[in-house]
Structure 1
Amino acid sequence: MSEAKIKELRDDVDELNELLKQAKRKKVQDVLTLEIRKLETEMVKLKESENTTPMEVTHTPATSANSSQSKSKRYQIKLNGYGWDQSDKYIKVFVTLKNVQTLSKDQVYCKLTERSMELHVDNLDNKDYLLVINKLLEPINIEESHWKQKTDMVVVFLAKSNPNVKWSHMTEIEKKFEDQRNSRFKTDDMGKKDPQDSIMSLMKNMYETGDDEMKRMISKAWYEGQHKKPTDTLDL
């Protein structure tokens, strides 16, 4: 029964990801992203009974001239989608990758700092996968963090430096974006103003007041938007 449910959830996630690729409005993208993360979290909870062994955070993969040469011939795929949940002690990050459980421990590893995480999955079907999350909302305890391989999934347990503190968002950037958006929408007269104009005005304001990371993300989003909707204009 659980296997059928997991398959159904995975199919739902795949379809939502296809819809996310087609979505153009930020609010629609946010709703789809949140729903994807909820479903991925539900999949993980169904798999919690599986017996897996956590990896040591201090572990680094073995390297050699031959392995480096082999790695250089593989494609690296940067991951953006992930689910997350939290307990009093941990932030749990869920990353779905088919057949990841077949890899050795040397091929699945994390690089952690107090405010960032990188998940590396090497040579899965001749591809390397990388998930980078920078500017975590709160600091983490590197020594107490770890990760596990499960069927078709990696779960990263980021230990909170301040246990029992509830995170409202995964990163500072996500929180800043939502706070500024909510603040701007409260002051705008949405009945007299085109919602698209409000979003564009918000992005401009965030670009002018944001840090380098915020400006980089907005510039990328705007560049992609220009190619999809060449008639839009925004002077950054």
Structure 2
Amino acid sequence: MSTSNELKLDLAEYEQLHKTAKRLKVQQSLSREIEKLRREIATAEAREEAKAAQSQSNDNFAVSSDGSRLYQENITNYAWDQSDKFMKLYLTLDNLASIGDQDVQSEFTDRSVTVKVKFQKKICTLHIARLCESILGKESYVKKKSDYVLVMMKKSEAGKTWPWVTEREKKSKEKDKPKVDDSDPSAGITSLLKNMYDEGDDEMKRTISKAFYESQMKQATGADPMSDL
């Protein structure tokens, strides 16, 4: 079955032939083929649009071996911890007792992880395309526990502490981190304190407000305002 793009290429060639044709009979024959191709293109485009719409509506479903539809659910929330050798993810899922170890599948590369947990009517998937740091994929694995799935990712560099799980988190936090101006240390410290104040609880805000007040009092008397900070 020809696609609309292939039919359009045919149409372009027919139209080019029509422009160069000299005989009336040939021109008429080419005109009929051109009109036929235009109708076929319209039909093909409509069919392709319907297929794309159907595919979009099925994005959240997969098909099991018996032909039944399985709902696909993305895992976006997880707890994490780490040791010197491993970065660990904890995927808390309901009804894990109803499935076997073979229903938990994993795939690792040096910077990505994909875990699929297959239930009777749905597949839960965790996919991290870019990890914060690199791992040894062949030495990484998953374990199904009674109420969570443990993802064990072996660090390429043992002993290195990961600040975050994903590269996106790392870049986002580094972007938001206040920069210290080396040319003006007091301004840098002030910026850090302001950031701590904005993100701190009531007790932290009271402590920082007191520090600012005492700093201003010292500055008024000619003392070094940063001596106690």
Greater radius of gyration (CA): 2
TM-score with structure 2 length normalisation?
0.49
